[in-house]
Amino acid sequence: MIKTLYLLIIASIIIFPVSTPISLLAGFVFTLLFGNPFIGKSGRYTSLLLKTAIVGLGFGINFSQALEASSSGFILTIVTIVGVLILGVFVGRLFRIPPTISYLIASGTAICGGSAIAAIAPVIKADESEMSISLAVIFTLNSIALLLFPFIGEWLGMLQEQFGIWAAVAIHDTSSVVGAAKYFGDDALVTATTVKLARALWIIPLTLFTAFLYKSGKKPKLPYFILMYIAAVIINTYTDFPADISLIITFWAKKAMVITIFLIGSSLSIEKIKKTGLKPFAFGSLLWILISVGTAIWILA
């Protein structure tokens, strides 16, 4: 009965539009109430589905447009990504957070939230619990940013383009970037979407760097799914690959990602949260505040 209900929820995610935060919460609540009926198998399915979703999302990125967008804010992009990752290492140690969790949260803050965490996690062999906690932190702050940023931008007197850049850099996930920028204005929306697209490309070098960083004295394994992601981006950009098919692939890749998030959420438990404590939320909040304030000062200077 519980297995059937679990599968019905996954089917409903496929049929109906469900956001990633809701999917994560649904997975957690389900396990809280009924337990995870596939606790011994979900990890393998999660990893495979996660990598498949990342590759599929590559068909939604135009490499040329992303490079053009990144050229105008190249220095800001480098400073914020490198700065957050370095801060993540030192602040994570200060907060005594497990290195895997701190690295996932820092990666999600530096680039593009859940997508970055999803790409990095298999490379550093993060388990479902570590991914769940990291995603919960990112999605919580992401929701707060969606509500607060437009009002803060107006209070600071930001221009449309300024707000678009700020939102793209300081808000984690693309969906919330689009939502906040759309509220602020049409020009802000165009700028934010373009800049966020460019930042998404940095998942590639970050993942390759992470594979080298976590080799632990052994020959690093190539993250083949990231190489396939690169191939998907190149195919979508430089070939006559049908646009309609690209849209279909990216649609189902996003569905696969939402299902993956549900599977990850269902691996989380109260015991694991108590064991980790509130430190990851404090850590993620501090990184987010630092990048938000620092970027706003840079833009308005």
Distance separating alpha carbons of residues 296 and 75, to the nearest angstrom: 15
Mean pLDDT, contiguous 10-residue spans, the chain (301 residues): 84 84 82 78 73 82 68 73 88 88 91 82 83 84 83 90 88 77 80 76 83 64 70 88 91 86 76 72 91 90 77
- The residue ranges of every structural domain in the chain are 41-300
Contact of 66 with 201, CB cutoff 8 Å: yes
pLDDT at site 29: 86
Straight-line distance from the first to the last Cα atom of the chain, in angstroms, rounded to the nearest whole number: 60
Percent helix, percent strand, percent coil in the chain, to nearest 5: 80, 0, 20
pLDDT at site 116: 85
One-letter amino acid identity for 58?
Answer: G
pLDDT at site 65: 67
Contact of 141 with 69, CB cutoff 8 Å: no
Whole-prediction pTM: 0.73
- Residue 54, exposed/middle/buried by CB under 10 A (0-12, 13-18, 19+)? buried
pLDDT at site 198: 74
Tokens of 49: 């589905």
Distance separating alpha carbons of residues 93 and 25, to the nearest angstrom: 28
pLDDT at site 24: 77
Secondary structure element (H or E) that encloses residue 257, with its range: helix 243-265
Distances (CA, A) of 298 to 5, 110, 241: 50, 16, 40
Output DSSP code: residue 139: H
> Which residue in 6, 266, 265 sits closest to 135, CA to CA?
265
Secondary structure element (H or E) that encloses residue 140, with its range: helix 128-155
Distance separating alpha carbons of residues 103 and 124, to the nearest angstrom: 9
> Which residue in 199, 176, 203 sits closest to 51, CA to CA?
203
Distance separating alpha carbons of residues 58 and 267, to the nearest angstrom: 27
